[in-house]
Chains A and B, each alone.
Chain A
Amino acid sequence: MTCIERASPALNQILLKLYSAEKPMEIDHHLYEFGSAEYHILSEASDPRVAFLSISTAPLCPGVLATNELSSYTIEMIKALCPAVVEIAESRREGYQLTLKLNLTKIPRGKDYIKVIKEISTVHSVILSSQLKEILWNFNSDNAIKGMHKPIKLVYNPREPFFVIRQPQQIIAVFPIRFAEKSDVIISTAFFQELVDVGSSDRYAKAPPCSWSAIPPPELRGEAFEDLSTNGGFVSFDISSHHVDGKRLDKTVWNLLNFNAYVRYHVKITKGFIQRRMRKRLENLVEVLHHRESLEQDNEQITRHQGCSCTKRLVRSSKYSILKQRWGNLGRKLKRIHFRLKIQGFGRFRQRWLRLPKFSSREYTKLD
């Protein structure tokens, strides 16, 4: 499930390859990933100790931020990623929001290098998480209308926006769900029902309470029509202060960003699961119907018992047909063997002398 992992798998692979290369190598890669992320990795053979990683990502909340620049808070969070290895480059590459200078010689030797490179590959998730945190923290009193805060529309995946509504005691995250096919809608609805059911149990009391409704929740009344028209309903999570304390904040933020992707992945896997179950059941059913071995065994058992005459006739007819079939096969094999031996003039000889005579009262064989 690569779209939900924090570390970019492609970026991770390229950095690992660069680090473990025996000879200095030239790399100039452009990568495009889920969530509108764009990377550029540059490494020159003349200076193998350094690599440049440029990144660009679409703004999470297009309407709120005036520019596309990364905030100082985001820059600080990125600097905290392996400070010994990662530096912010003085000038960024054209077309990108940020360029990082990676000092490859400062990556520790031994098994830790995998962990360090993986942490560097999480740079996109760090940017997104910090942007969402800022949006949630920067409470703007202008947004409060009669005690209700205006919903903030967040766009992680362009076709799947979701809303965050800040309230005095909690934050509500609302996900409009849309699918192209009806069967996907039904599978996802069944999943949401299970999600609500599990979330309301005592064991998961600490998880954010979630609910599903077919109609838009009252908090979203007034939003654009195209944002509220769905076929899969609306899923809401109530995030309280407990869920954003300390280290939980990162997890909560990342889970919310990837909820849509998680649901889609589950629907896709479930369809594959259904297909496999049906195929396996089909094989079992075919085996049941065409179980010839048990049929022959049953026939043998019938002959041992004294049954009625019609049963004996059934057994005889099946044995007769098996014998006839086998004789037919043998005859055909013999004929084939004969035809393989090609001797000049033998065909005529065989027809004249090797054919079994037919004795019939109506015909007679002319004697030479």
Chain B
Amino acid sequence: MSSTRRGNHHHHHQSPMASTLRPYLTCIRNTLDAAMCLQNFPCQEVERHNKPEVELKSSPELLLNPVLICRNEAEKCLIETSINSLRISLKVKQADELENILTKKFLRFLSMRAEAFQVLRRKPVQGYDISFLITNYHCEEMQKHKLIDFIDIDKEISELKMSVNTRGRLVATEFLKQFI
């Protein structure tokens, strides 16, 4: 059974897109803050094994209700929690084709270097662009708020797109200058 939360729309001077971003991120942050209460729990089925229960899903009593946070139809975040691990899957906004290829390139780039991050899953959950797997050991070794800040991928893609467009504009300017 999953519960769905929707980001509230605030009536500000900002565009509708920008006005839903902050509540969306705040909602994710608060949910993660509550969900990242993980403890060590050895595997109940295999002796001397310790596995992330959220991946196995073999013991329902160890799993919590997954939470789906939707900003709109294109952007959502799924948080699945268990006693010793937490899985976060993100579907990132792709407004146009350029954002689409930049998102794919960037997330594939990160996923192929998942061992550098430890918390990154090599393959995203089906239907999502990127997934993280956080265990109780990560919570012990890393700072919780840093883990949460890491998850703001949207900003990365927007910055990348802006820099590509800025670069294209400079090159176009240089080309046209030759005619003057």
Contact = CB atoms under 8 A, between A and B. Distances in A.
Contacts of B141: 295
Given A278-B106, A282-B109, A198 B146 contact: no
Nearest to B116: A286
B172 interface: yes
Interface string A227-239: 0000000000000
Interface in B139-174: 141-143, 146-147, 149-150, 156, 160, 163-165, 167-169, 171-173
Given A262-B175, A277-B160, A288 B167 contact: no
B160 A274 contact: yes
| Secondary structure call for the B interface | helix
Given A194-B169, A207-B179, A278-B106, A273 B150 contact: no
Count class of interface residues, chain A: 35 or more
A298 interface: yes
Interface string B117-159: 1110000000000000000000001110011011000001000
Interface stretch (A153-161, A183-191, A300-308, A342-350): A183-191
Nearest to A242: B179
Given A206-B179, A248-B179, A273 B167 contact: yes
A91 interface: no
A191 B172 contact: yes
A298 B169 CA distance: 45
B119 A198 contact: no
A270 B170 CA distance: 12
A211 interface: no
Contacts of A290: 142
Count class of interface residues, chain B: 35 or more
Nearest to A265: B171
A2 B163 CA distance: 25
B110 interface: yes
Contacts of B160: 274, 277-278
A165 B21 CA distance: 50
Interface stretch (B7-15, B48-56, B66-74, B94-102): B94-102
Nearest to B100: A186
Given A187-B98, A266-B168, A243 B143 contact: no
Given A183-B101, A187-B164, A295 B143 contact: yes
9 contacts: A189-B97, A191-B168, A191-B172, A194-B165, A195-B172, A207-B179, A270-B168, A281-B106, A282-B113
